[in-house]
Structure formats: C-alpha cells, structure tokens
A and B are shown apart, each in its own frame.
Chain A
Amino acid sequence: MMHELLTSTPSWLNFAIFIGLGAVLLGVVLGFVTYAILAERKVIGFMQLRIGPNRLGGRFGLLQTVADVLKLLLKEDTIPKKADRPLFILAPVIAFVPAFMVIAVIPFTDKLYFADLGVGLLYYLAISGLTTFGVITGGWASNNKYALLGGMRAVAQMISYEIPLVMSVIGIILLTGSLNIISIVEFQAGQLWFIVLQPVAFAIFMIASVAELNRTPFDLPEAESELVAGYHVEYSGFRFAFFMLAEYVYLFAMASLVTVLFLGGWYPPFHETLPFLLYIPGVVWFLLKFSLVVFFMFWIRATFPRLRADHLMEFGWKVLLPLALANIFVTALLKELFFRS
C-alpha cells in the first residue's frame, strides 16, 4: 500500500493521507519514547537493586512518564537574563526536529515505511548530524560556563564519532551496492545478516552510535558529576523536555537503524531453513530485534563508568577510524575476490 502511495501522482488526497500517517507515526514514536523512558528506569532499577517507578498507573508505574512530561510542560519557562534569547529559544527546536526527520526513512516492514529514498542511509546520516547544531547553540546561548563546556564537548564528540559511524556502514553499502535501506534489508534476507558479514562494522557502529546518542559511557556532554548537566543546564520546562525527547527519539531511530542495517530488519532468522517463522508478522520480528538493541543500550548504561574527554577523542580518531577504514579495505578486497558477479 505504501509503495503505491509513494509512486502515485501527487494529489490532495495523497497529501492528506500522508499527513494522517505522519501523525500516526508521531504518536507511535512519542508512545515509544514514553515507555522507553519507563523501560529504561525499570531495567536499570532492576540491575541496580531498585524498584523503579511503581506508583502512578498501577504497579508498573505505567503513567509515570506521562506525569513527568506534564510536570515539565506546566513548569515555569525560565530564560536567563544574560542568555542570547532568540538562539536560546531556537536551540531545542534545532536539536529536536532532525530527530523526527530521520525516522521517515526507516522501514519497519516491507509494507510499512514512509519514504523510500534511493539514498536513505545517506539522508539519515546527514540529517542526524544537524542535531549537533542544536546542542552547541543551546550551550552557547545559555551564557553559562558549564553549558558552554558541555556544548563544546558535545560537538567535539559528535563530530568525532560521526566519522567512524559513516565509515563503518560503507562496508555494507559496498556489499549491497545500494544506499536504499530497503534494498539493504532485502540483501540480508538473501544472504546473511550483516552482523555476521560485517562484525567489525557492527562493533564500530554500536560504539559510535552510543557515542552519538550521548549515552553512558559517552555521556560527557551532560556529565553530571563534572559539568552538572552540561549543555542543557539552563533549560527548564518544555524546552528541557525537547532536549530529552530528542535524545530518546534518537535512541528509537538508532536502534531501528541497527535493526535494519545489521540484524536483517523484519526478516526472521534462518527463514530459508525454517520457513514457518515467516508466519510471524515482520513487525513482531522487527520489534523483537529492536527491543534487544534498546535493552543492550540500557545494559551498557548500568555497567560502565564514563570515559574522559581526551580518551574519548583518542579512541574515536586513533582506534575506531583506522579500524573502520581497514574494514572498508578488507570488505572491498573480499568483494572483488568472492562476490564478483
């Protein structure tokens, strides 16, 4: 259905349908964010011998995040007197909008996707880089020393890890011969998942994506014990909520991207030898793999201490980047030798 819609001639009806679908997607993503925050608190609580939210919305605290968001929306919106007012207001928006834009190119199943771009992967990587502007703008406009330090760290980190992230997926692009995410999934269904074909790329991608998401152990930009809260130290109310929201929407997007790039998207494992697995809908498989990736990221957060800024840079440039480059070289070589057809 999506395919027909996307290829049909533009009309007001199509436009309206897309608006409706977009709203549905927004709802799904926001719903995810709500429950991802709850899940994170529950999972980490479990790992840290705590209970986590357990009051609001029954035993499992199902309404806790809703209440938290409502509280944030009702809070007084303060803007520091000495802050750069227009930039201060603009920053959360710049950080937030790309987070939603990237979701457009993620295919959830072969029928459920919102844009089938020929250069989908490139689009994702390019747009997600824009968030950095929001972060540095926020850090700068706050006119706060901690925020400035946090913003500087964030930008240095995001740029440094963006490069290995992009380099790591080049191996996949080489093997698939396409930047289209759906073709990448279809390629994996025919061959092997890229987690098997490109294990090094997978490791680099996972590390770099955790760094891109500013999550522990790469949460330096908002290192509480050093910079109090980093770039959003002056933000309150719904502007703060926007930064947080952007972070979790990226978690959603990144986990989806890992699922489609490395874990075979909506296809079950071994579906050629075990064809009955195909009876389970693709969405379920997608959700399953996706949840695994998200859980993995929560797990990392509960386990590791934080890296130091200079170590982080060294690791990004001196370890990840050369590894990624070597991976591209080896992949190209292997492709020339074995996959030449």
Chain B
Amino acid sequence: MIRTEEMLLNVGPQHPSTHGVFRVVIKIDGEIITEATPVIGYLHRGTEKLAEDLNYTQIIPYTDRMDYLSAMTGNYVVCHAVETLMGLEIPERAEYLRVIAMELNRVASHLVWFGTYLLDIGAMSPFLYAFREREMITNLINELCGARLTFNYMRVGGVKWDAPDGWIQKVKDFLPYMREQLEGYHTLVTGNEIFLSRIKGIGKYNAETAIKYSLSGANLRCTGVKWDLRKDEPYSIYDRFDFDVPTETEGDAYARYLIRMEEIRQSIRILEQAVEQFPSSGEIMGKVPRVIKPPVGETYVRIESPRGEIGCYINSKGKPQPYRMKFRRPSFYNLQILPELLKGQNVANLITILGGIDIVLGEVDG
C-alpha cells in the first residue's frame, strides 16, 4: 500500500531567498504548499519603544535601519511628522535636496529589488548589472552625506549637508546613463521566455483583496488602483513635478515587476526636473529652535516609500522626546497577504511570490 504524507518544511530564517531573517513554515504535499505560516520578529529591535527615550534628532538614525534599502524616505517621514507638528518652514533648497536624495534612493531601492528578484528566479547576471548602477547612486549619496546605506541625512527643518560643488552636475550626468541601462534590462530580462513563464499569473489577487489587506505601493498599483501619495497627497514639493503613476490591471508578479521598472523611469523624470529647477543658492536649514520640543498634540503623516505607504504617528506631550511613536511600515503590511497567496502553489512559486512582494526585513520587524 502506497502512503503519502505531508512534509513540514522550515524555510528560513537562514535561507538564501527569504531576504534576511524571515521564516515561513510550510506544509507541502509533494511540491505543493497546503499551508504556510510566516514567522517574523527575528530582527525586532523595538524602534518605537526606543524612540520614547530619544530626542527627535536622535530618532532619525533609527529610521535608517528600518527600511535600510530606502533610508531617505525613513528619514523624511520622521522629520516631516515633527515639522508638521511644529509647523516649520523648510527652505526651498533643502526641499530640493530631500527630493533628489529620496528619488535617487528610490531608484537604488528598486534596482536592488530587480537584481535580487532575478537572483531568486535563478539568473545571476542581472543582479550584478543592477548593482553596478546602484553603486553609482550609492557613491552619489555618499558624496552628499558621507554614508552609503544608513544615511542619517535629513534633520528636522532641513538637511544636514549641502550638496558639494559639482554634485548636481554629476546627478545630471548619471540620469541619461540610467535611462539607457534601464532599456538594457528590458532587453535582457523582460522579453525572456523563461522569466515570463516564471512570473506571469503568479501570486495573483484583485483590487478588493489588496485593499482588504491594506497593501500599498506597487503591490496595490498592480491591481489597477492608482494610488501614489506623491500624486494624491503631495508632500514636500512633489506637486511641482510632472510624472505618471504607473498601474497595471493583472495583479500578478509580472505586473508588479513592470510597475517597479516603470517607477525607476518616473523617478528619473522627477530627478531630471529637480536638477533643472535646483536653486543655485539658499539655506539648507530652516529656523529651528535649539531644542526641538513639539507642542502637545498628535499627528500622523504618510509618504510614498519605494515599498508603499510609510507613515509616522507622533504623540507629543511637549517634551523633547515623543510620548508615543508609531511607524506604519509598508513591508509589514504588504507581507500579510503572503499565506493566502502561497496556498496551492509549489515551492518554486514561494520564492517568486515572496520576492515579488518586495519586503525589507528591517522594516517588517521594526
């Protein structure tokens, strides 16, 4: 008598494709997943609790370590929240520097996603091509703020460092090159039959499910919902730029791939306009009191990070430290849909689906 039984397979936390310390326990029947239970928290550092004992400026480096692939948006959201609470004016030059830094970071973040996703699918070369371009961005940001990953660049009221001489020109020179390379990726990867067969129709959900799970970013836009906070609730100076919000209607991994690739192009468009309009002189720090003490009250701001909607809630009791701080971390919310998507898929699709969601474990675990 032949007997088959389900196998309990532990994927992660030390697995090459869980992008950090994510763990998912799957029940498999042959290669088909019947049940998936994600286990998170291996990278939990208690950022929100730690923040309660820190000055606002001291919190900024902690946000670098949440979504470490896109630390600029993390920096911005906390500064933006404090500024909103205090009603501060930000100098124009500082706003431009912030936008340029954030958009460069968005391109870099999507490049990392593109490379590692292809690596998950089994193609090694695109990873190295993407990292060549990312390296250039990292170098540019390094010149700007002296760090390559954990930038700690923004401050309440402005930015820490002004752009060095000739830096704007360097960004200007980089943009056409990046456009060209993006075309190269499409030629190498997007038309590849194997690649398409791996991701088309995989991890599919509709707009209703996406909203129910509170997904955001490319994970939401792939279902046809046009929702980008840069357009819908413009913060900083995003209303000055002309750019499109790419959407797809399929809701599968391929749609998410196309959206992220298109977002790189849109970010380049924003950057091109930003470096053109960049004010030749001006302050980089607004008028900020020596000790940052927001008035009693609370605020919640949200912006568009490469991974989706990142939000910051501050409850202030008028002290230099927040009474309570809460981050809406998009990776954490986006990950929630995983068990539902995994049911009935095979092990190879597990990697494709997980990679397609684009999580950063620092952000998931907070």
A:266-316 near B, CB below 8 Å? 301-311
Q: A306 and B122 in contact (CB under 8 A), knowing A49-B128, A226-B350, A227-B347?
A: yes
Residues in chain A near residue B119, CB distance under 8 A: 225
List 24 A-B residue pairs with CB atoms under 8 Å apart, sorted by A's residue number: A44-B125, A47-B125, A145-B9, A149-B31, A216-B123, A220-B348, A225-B119, A225-B121, A226-B17, A227-B347, A302-B124, A303-B123, A304-B122, A305-B118, A305-B121, A305-B122, A305-B123, A305-B194, A306-B122, A307-B122, A308-B348, A309-B31, A309-B346, A309-B348
- CB contacts (< 8 Å) of A224 on chain B: these are 16
A223 to B351, CA, bound (A): 11
Of residues 120 through 173 on chain B, the ones whose CB sits less than 8 Å from some CB of chain A are 120-125, 128-129, 132
The reply to whether A226 and B123 form a contact with Cβ atoms under 8 Å apart is no
Contact B197 A48 (CB under 8 A): no
Could you tell me which residues of chain B, from 227 to 253, have a CB within 8 Å of some CB in chain A? none
Q: Which residues between 227 and 254 of chain A lie within 8 Å of chain B, taking CB atoms?
A: 227-228
The closest CB in chain B to the CB of A216 belongs to B122
Chain B, range 85-140, C-beta contacts under 8 Å to A: 118-125, 128-129, 132
Q: Which of A50, A220, A226, A305 contacts B192 (CB 8 A)?
A: A305
Task: Decide if B194 touches A310 in the complex (CB within 8 Å).
Answer: no
Distance from A4 Cβ to chain B, minimum over Cβ atoms (Å): 49
Flag whether B349 is at the interface (Cβ < 8 A): yes
Interface residues of chain A: helix, strand, loop or mixed (majority): helix
Chain A contacts for B195, CB-based, 8 A: 305
Interface status of A219 (Cβ within 8 A of chain B)? yes
Which of B17, B118, B346 is A308 in contact with, Cβ under 8 Å?
Answer: B346
Q: How far is the CA of A145 from the CA of B120 in the complex (A)?
A: 20
Give the interface of B toward A (CB within 8 A).
Answer: 7, 9, 15-17, 31, 118-125, 128-129, 132, 188-189, 192, 194-195, 197-198, 346-351
Which of chain B's residues have a CB closer than 8 A to the CB of A264? none
Q: Inside 8 A of B346's CB, which chain A residues have their CB?
A: 308-310
What residues of A have a CB within 8 angstroms of the CB of B31 in the complex? 149, 309
Inter-chain contacts of A308 with B (CB < 8 A): 197-198, 346, 348-349
Q: List the B side residues contacting A265 at CB < 8 Å.
A: none
- Between B7, B9, B124, the greatest number of chain A beta carbons within 10 A of the residue's beta carbon is seen for B124
Q: Which of A142-178 contact B (CB under 8 A)?
A: 145-146, 149
Q: DSSP majority for the B interface? A: helix
Per a CB cutoff under 8 Å, which of A48, A145, A219 touches B122? A219
**Docked CA distance A48–B195 (Å):** 19
Bound together, the chains give a CA A308 to CA B15 distance in angstroms of 19
Q: Which residues in B have their C-beta under 8 angstroms from that of A216? A: 122-124
Q: How many residues of A contact B (CB 8 A)?
A: 29
Q: Which chain B residues border A134 with CB–CB below 8 Å? A: none
Whether B121 contacts A306 by the Cβ 8 Å rule is yes
Shortest CB-to-CB span from B283 to chain A, Å, is 41
Contact status B351-A225, CB under 8 Å = yes
Measured CB to CB, the nearest residue on chain A to B8 is: A145
Please measure, in the bound complex, the distance between the C-alpha atom of A216 and the C-alpha atom of B194, giving whole angstroms: 11
Find chain A residues with CB under 8 A from B118 CB.
Answer: 305
A217: interface (CB < 8 Å)? yes
Cα of A308 to Cα of B347 in the assembled complex, Å? 9
- Known A225-B121, A226-B348; judge A311-B197 contact (CB<8 A): yes
Residues of A within 8 A of B129 (CB): 48-49
Which B residue sits closest to A314, measured CB to CB?
B197
In the assembled complex, the Cα of A139 lies from the Cα of B122 at a distance in Å of 21
Q: Does the CB pair A225–B7 fall under 8 Å?
A: no
Cβ–Cβ < 8 Å partners of A219 in chain B: 122
Contacts A225-B351, A226-B348, A309-B31: A304 and B194 contacting too (C-beta < 8 A)?
yes
User: Residue of A at shortest CB range from B350?
Assistant: A226
Instruction: For the complex formed, measure the closest distance between the CB of A290 and the CB atoms of chain B, giving whole angstroms.
Output: 24
User: In the complex, what's the smallest C-beta–C-beta distance from B193 to chain A, in angstroms?
Assistant: 9
| Complex Cα–Cα for A307 and B120 (A) | 12
Among residues of B, the one whose C-beta sits closest to the C-beta of A153 is B31
Q: How far is the CA of A305 from the CA of B31 in the complex (A)?
A: 20
Q: How far does the alpha carbon of A310 sit from the alpha carbon of B32 in the complex, in Å?
A: 11
Q: Are A306 and B132 in contact (CB under 8 A)?
A: no
Specify which chain B residues have a CB less than 8 angstroms from the CB of A145 in the assembled complex. Answer: 7, 9
| Distance of A35 from chain B, by nearest CB (Å) | 21
Of A44, A223, A303, A304, which one neighbours B348 at CB under 8 angstroms?
A223
Q: How many angstroms between the C-alpha atoms of A169 and B113 in the bound complex?
A: 43
A303 touches B125 (CB 8 A): yes
Given A48-B128, A145-B9, 9 other A-B contacts at CB below 8 A?
Answer: A49-B129, A146-B9, A223-B122, A225-B120, A302-B125, A303-B123, A307-B197, A308-B346, A310-B346
A49-B128, A228-B16, A310-B346 known; A304-B123 Cβ under 8 A: yes
Bound state CA distance, A197 and B223, in angstroms?
50
Q: Determine how close the nearest CB of chain A comes to the CB of B9; give it in whole angstroms.
A: 5
Contacts of A44 in B (CB 8 A): 124-125
Q: Are A228 and B128 in contact (CB under 8 A)?
A: no
Alpha-carbon gap, A18 to B197, bound state (A): 51
Chain B residue, CB-CB nearest to A50: B128
